[in-house]
Structure 1
Amino acid sequence: MQDMTPAPRPWRGFLPAFAAALTACGGGSATSAPAPAPAAVAASAPAPSNKWALVWSDEFDGSAGTVPNAAHWNYDLGNAENSGWGNHEHQYYTANARNAQLDGAGMLVITAEKAANPGPCWNGAPCGYTSARIHTSNKVNFTYGKVEARMKLPSGQGIWPAFWSLGQTGQWPASGEIDIMEFIGKTPNATYGTAHGTGYSGAQGIGKPRDFGGPVADDFHTYTIVKRVNEIIWYVDGTEYHRLTPASLPAGSPWVFEKPFFVILNLAIGGDWPGAPDATTVLPARMLVDWVRIYKEN
């Protein structure tokens, strides 16, 4: 990042320790020392041109079994420590390579699997699963531009993969949340794009489904947002399906998106929205990420 200027359902990202200035990983985990200032992907809003220049990417090109690049990615950890991530989720997030590693063929693989008591869940019982949630807070962020990932998602009851972003500063929901892609196994033919802010958070988030007309998990797809001043646009495979402007918000609600955001990738199991896994759920479940890219608009 050097030399750069660079629907309705429960809240996707619970951040109980989110302070006025975020200096830890999204999810409220504490750190022992302040993190360095993140490189900004875009310092000011470009004029709309639909001409794009790549300013950052992770192509996940590395040896099989290696973990995500620490220069780009942090880990969120636990479950009970973060109140089930605000959604009564069933997985315990780890930094173990079993849950997030490169496959040696240009893919990041986030794996959710059954586990024997990896740590406590929000309800006091041992969590039954492990998975991973990684993010770029205080390492890579974007204010404006195009942000996208090419991914192949797992399917099954209780499966909940997501590609999303949170405002680098502020307390949720005033910090803002942009869900670039969410998928739940009980609606196998659709993904969802949603925005959250003060007055339109949680179940009142402003979102739309994107109907694929067949199982989402059958193939790779590219999930994108374009973020400009007073505008966010969602795409799947280059086709727009949702657009948000200040005029879209409930009366009196603030537009909270003119600030840097960071990127999050995770694979949750269970929760208020997808429901618990059942006997039909195939585990391990694997979320494949071919690449994540951020562009500025010329």
Structure 2
Amino acid sequence: MKSNLLKVTAVSAVALLTLCAGIPRNETAKPEKETVVFFDDFSGKEINRDNWNVSVSGHITNNELQAYVDSSATLQLSDNVSGAKNGALVIKAHYSPGFKTKDGQTQDFISGKLESHGKKEFVTGKMSARMKLPAGSGYWPAFWALGINKKWPDCGEIDVMEYVGEPEWISAALHGPNYFGETPLVNKLFLKKENDVTHWHVYAVDWQKDALLFYVDDVLYYRVTRPMVEHYGKWAYDNPHFLIVNFALGGAYPAKTTGVKQPYLGLPQSTLDDIKAGNAKVYVDWVKVTK
């Protein structure tokens, strides 16, 4: 009886929905077609430099511990990553005491960062990446987009996914004029222990003209509208943005979250040991933008 009632209710709901939407009952509403305007599944032998710039650190931001280098030690493609559909990007961090950046700063870690500035830039669209992240307090990988033609934060920053090493949650945020740093436009998604960030997930934002909708595995968990943004400052999302995927270590955000200051700011001894053991790896199956 319960099963039959559920079936009748479901049919009635569909009929009511089609009538209210003005769709004839003998026709099926077709989903809106998406057009892929960018896709990289990292299936080749080398990073596609028509899509990506490999960042090399000079100035270090957020008191982070890593220097970004252009090296196969930190950025490589692999066709032997479990769960990846057609090869994957592997971003690996290393302990490298005394490493000098190009402007003479000293960092004890090296890592990798890709960004599409000047090569692939977008205004609106759905930006997605399928990623698998490492467990370890102070790891700080991210998938995000940054605006062009203006200085930060006026250019606008869209943090699609940030993670500071606590495997049960990720965050999304917006930064712009009068809402940056400790931005009020931020939200966390908590995941089930058996399906935490060390498993594959698709992190995405649907960037619309007057709203940004954040998803994990097609589940909407945060929506920011133009009026919400303009309560704090100017809407900074009418200009082109480029994509970034990177693997930072320690620094202000992890330290603020965990309170860890030793042996490095935001990075405890357990994570240092994990890096030394070769386990500090971020996997990116693909990155995609659709309209």
TM over 0.5: yes
CA distance in 1, matches of 2:101, 2:244: 23
What residue identity is the alignment partner of 2:54?
Y
Aligned partner (choices 183, 187, 191) of residue 212 of structure 1? 191
CA RMSD between the two structures: 1.9
What residue identity is the alignment partner of 2:267?
P
1:113 and 2:94 matched: yes
TM-score normalised to the size of structure 2?
0.78
Higher helix share: 2
1:57 and 2:39 matched: yes
TM-score normalised to the size of structure 1?
0.76
Aligned partner (choices 186, 200, 205) of residue 179 of structure 2? 200
Displacement of 1:169 in angstroms is 1.8
SS of match in other structure, 2:227? helix
CA distance in 1, matches of 2:94, 2:136: 13
Q: How does 1:1-298 map to 2 (within 5 A)?
A: 50-63=32-45, 66=46, 68-78=47-57, 81-82=58-59, 84-85=60-61, 87-105=62-80, 106-120=87-101, 126-185=106-165, 187-214=166-193, 216-249=196-229, 251=231, 253-275=233-255, 276-281=266-271, 282-283=274-275, 284=278, 285-296=280-291
SS of match in other structure, 2:151? coil
Runs (4+) off by over 6 Å:
none
What residue identity is the alignment partner of 1:114?
Y
Higher Cα Rg, which structure: 2
Displacement of 1:252 in angstroms is 5.7
Fraction of identical pairs, as percent: 33
Q: Give the number of aligned pairs.
A: 239
SS of match in other structure, 1:128? strand
Residue pair 2:179, 2:232 contacting (<8 A) in 1 also: no
Residue pair 2:173, 2:183 contacting (<8 A) in 1 also: no
Displacement of 1:62 in angstroms is 1.6
Displacement of 1:121 in angstroms is 10
